[in-house]
């Protein structure tokens, strides 16, 4: 036994400090929650907000560092660090729009923020891991809080239904993912990405791994919401609390795409032509089905669900380009997508008032007369989602398209451009409803302050980084160097 343990190095614990801090904040919220009186439950949200700010600055100090520890399982590099920074920015805004919304839905429990924190820990582990087992555990740690959050509104049938649907789909797909890992382990004798790439370098291409590559894409495909694993998305997005929908549609999707990118780039490097073909097909289908189906929706949450499916297709283009520009444009697109998509959902929350969820197209009718600024801000988000300058959405799409062009995927580019044009139609259905139709007399808007702050923050970020994208571009270039720096 003693010689078994000899030569084992103590892992570098400094690498996981951000994860540990996130976990501590999550547990702290759980511990403090029982002592907070029912009217002051908002304090939990403030702790979470403060926590994300602290985490942001702690993680910022890791930028430029490169640590691989825990026996080649965990890696701190610029890519994982910038992904973590992304999570904190997006989660900060999600908490901001949740504060008032949860009170309105009468389910303002501290556990909401704790579960959000635990899901964040899972995602942080996911983007940092260099081992398939670690990926799987990160994925599950992220997914289980999500199922609960989707069913968070008390006694609401739709919320419960969406949680159950999400859970059943998630369990099914995680089995597929595990099967992919098992096949990889059977073929290469290891779950570590370093060993997989070394094995395939020495022994050449193994046909079992072709199957494994598809199964791994399927397993992550649920969170990415790519075709054919998108069926859950509209139902879950519609039924879940709107703040949770904003979260699910952005942050876990980005985490899953980042994980897929790392598995394919670092583990299956020598299979590049093969997985490029697979992703080509998936990306094309995702863009077409997502955009075309969105046209016929008249529920804004469902429409945004299909639009987020379509955006997953654009993001897959960043992976399958398999070049430096592809990664950096993808990282930029993550930030852009989070600003505009959370912004659009925040507007739905802004319209939430007594007996009105705010997700029907009629709820937006005549908003320009009732609240001109909110309508204008919504138009900014819609322009950005459609990819019209001068917004982040335009810059993101431009970068991703040029990465695909550089890699020579001309037909995919044609599909992407055509579907982007289609998307203009359904985004502007909302704009038309706001500007050209007369308002209906119903409950007045509540205009909660925290949501207002979040919306304006996102709108400013959407425009500012659309005109001056350099800061995010620098971060994106740094993270692309992780894979193509040599």
Binding residues for another protein (CB under 8 A): 1, 4-5, 8, 11, 16, 23, 27, 30, 70-71, 73-74, 107, 109, 111, 114-115, 118-119, 121-122, 125, 131, 133-134, 137-138, 140-141, 144-145, 147-148, 151-152, 154-155, 163
Q: 147 or 280: whose CB is closer to another protein?
A: 147
Q: Which is nearer to another protein, 18 or 366 (CB)?
A: 18
Least distance between another protein and beta carbon 123 (Å): 12
Q: Give me the residues paired with residue 68 across strands.
A: 75
Q: Which is nearer to another protein, 121 or 472 (CB)?
A: 121
Instruction: Say if residues 79 and 127 touch (Cβ distance below 8 Å).
Output: yes
Tell the smallest beta-carbon distance from residue 154 to another protein (Å). Answer: 4
In whole angstroms, how close is the CB of 67 to another protein at the nearest point?
Answer: 13
Using an 8 Å Cβ cutoff, are 147 and 170 in contact?
yes
- For another protein, which is the closer residue by CB, 163 or 475? 163
Element containing residue 69 per DSSP (H, E): strand 67-69
* Minimum CB–partner distance for residue 152 and another protein (Å): 7
From the CB of 60, what's the least distance to another protein, in Å?
A: 23
The span from the CA of 188 to the CA of 234, in Å, is: 38
Please, which residue, 8 or 202, has the CB nearer to another protein?
A: 8
Report how far residue 122's alpha carbon sits from residue 22's, in angstroms, rounded to the nearest whole number.
Answer: 10
Helix and strand numbers (H, E) in the chain are: 20, 2
Structural element, H or E, at residue 74 = strand 74-76
Least gap, CB of 156 to another protein (angstroms): 10
- Beta carbon nearer to another protein, 4 or 411: 4
- Measured from the CB atom, the residue of 14 and 447 that comes closer to another protein is 14
Q: How far is the CB of 105 from another protein (least distance, A)?
A: 12
The packing angle between helices 372-386 and 410-436, to 10°, is 170
- Number of neighbouring beta carbons within 10 Å of residue 481: 16
Smallest gap from Cβ 482 to another protein, in A, equals: 20
At closest approach, how far in Å is the CB of 142 from another protein? 9
Residue 361 burial (10 A CB sphere; 0-12, 13-18, 19+): middle
Rounded Cα distance, 48 and 46, in Å: 5
- Residue-wise DSSP of 193-253: HHHHHHHHHHH---HHHHHHHHHHHHHHHHHHT-TTS-THHHHHHHHS-HHHHHHHHHHHH
Q: In this complex, which beta carbon is closest to another protein, that of residue 152 or of residue 339?
A: 152
- Burial of 1 per CB tally in 10 Å (0-12, 13-18, 19+): exposed
Nearer to another protein, 125 or 214 (CB): 125
Mapped onto helix, strand or coil, the DSSP state of residue 298 is: coil
Between 117 and 379, CB nearer to another protein: 117
In the complex, minimum distance from the CB of residue 153 to another protein, in angstroms, rounded to a whole number = 9
Q: Which CB sits closer to another protein, 30 or 285? A: 30
Q: Show the CA angle centred on residue 178, arms to residues 123 and 144, nearest 5°.
A: 40
Q: Would you say 149 and 244 are in contact if contact means Cβ atoms under 8 Å apart?
A: yes
CB of 476 closer than 8 Å to CB of 329: yes
Q: How far is CA 359 from CA 102, 214, 239, 356, 425, in A?
A: 16, 36, 11, 8, 18
For residue 128, the minimal CB distance to another protein (Å) is 10
Query: If DSSP codes are grouped into helix, strand and coil, which group holds residue 256?
Result: helix
């Amino acid at each position: 036994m003693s010689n078994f343990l000899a030569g084992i190095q103590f892992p570098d614990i400094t690498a996981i400090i951000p994860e540990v801090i996130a976990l501590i904040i999550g547990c702290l919220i759980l511990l403090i929650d029982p002592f907070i009186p029912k009217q002051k439950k908002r304090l939990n949200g403030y702790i979470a907000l403060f926590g994300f700010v602290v985490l942001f600055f702690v993680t910022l100090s890791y930028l430029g560092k490169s640590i691989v520890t825990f026996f080649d399982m965990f890696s701190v590099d610029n890519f994982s660090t910038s992904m973590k920074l992304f999570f904190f920015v997006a989660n900060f805004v999600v908490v901001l729009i949740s504060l008032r919304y949860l009170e309105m839905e009468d389910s303002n429990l501290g556990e909401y923020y704790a579960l959000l924190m635990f899901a964040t820990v899972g995602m942080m582990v996911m983007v940092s891991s260099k081992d398939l087992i670690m990926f799987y555990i990160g994925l599950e740690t992220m997914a289980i809080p999500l199922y609960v959050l989707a069913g968070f509104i008390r006694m609401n049938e739709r919320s419960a239904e969406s949680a159950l649907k999400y859970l059943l789909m998630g369990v099914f797909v995680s089995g597929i993912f595990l099967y992919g890992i098992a096949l990889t382990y059977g073929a290469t004798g290891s779950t570590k990405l370093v060993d997989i790439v070394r094995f395939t370098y020495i022994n050449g291409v193994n046909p079992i791994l072709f199957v494994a590559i598809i199964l791994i894409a399927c397993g992550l495909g649920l969170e990415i919401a790519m075709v054919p694993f998108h069926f859950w998305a509209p139902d879950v997005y519609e039924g879940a609390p709107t703040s949770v929908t904003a979260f699910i549609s952005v942050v876990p999707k980005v985490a899953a795409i980042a994980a897929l990118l790392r598995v394919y780039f670092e583990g299956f490097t020598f299979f590049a032509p093969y997985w490029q073909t697979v992703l080509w097909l998936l990306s094309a289908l995702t863009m077409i089905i997502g955009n075309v189906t969105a046209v016929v929706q008249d529920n804004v949450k469902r429409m945004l669900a299909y639009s987020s499916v379509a955006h997953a297709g654009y993001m897959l283009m960043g992976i399958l380009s398999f070049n430096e520009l592809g990664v950096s444009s993808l990282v930029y697109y993550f930030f852009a997508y989070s600003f505009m998509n959370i912004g659009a959902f925040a507007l739905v929350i802004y319209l939430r008032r007594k007996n009105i969820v705010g997700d029907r197209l009629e709820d937006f009718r005549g908003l320009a007369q009732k609240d001109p600024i909110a309508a204008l801000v919504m138009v900014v988000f819609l322009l950005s989602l459609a990819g019209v300058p001068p917004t982040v959405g335009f810059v993101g799409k431009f970068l991703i398209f040029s990465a695909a062009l550089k890699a020579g995927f001309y037909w995919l580019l044609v599909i992407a451009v055509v579907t982007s044009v289609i998307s203009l139609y359904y985004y502007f259905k909302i704009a038309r409803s706001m500007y050209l139709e007369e308002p209906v007399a119903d409950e007045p808007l509540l205009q909660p302050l925290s949501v207002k702050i979040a919306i304006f923050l996102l709108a400013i970020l959407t425009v500012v980084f659309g005109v001056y994208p350099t800061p995010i571009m620098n971060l994106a270039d740094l993270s692309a160097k992780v894979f193509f720096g040599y």
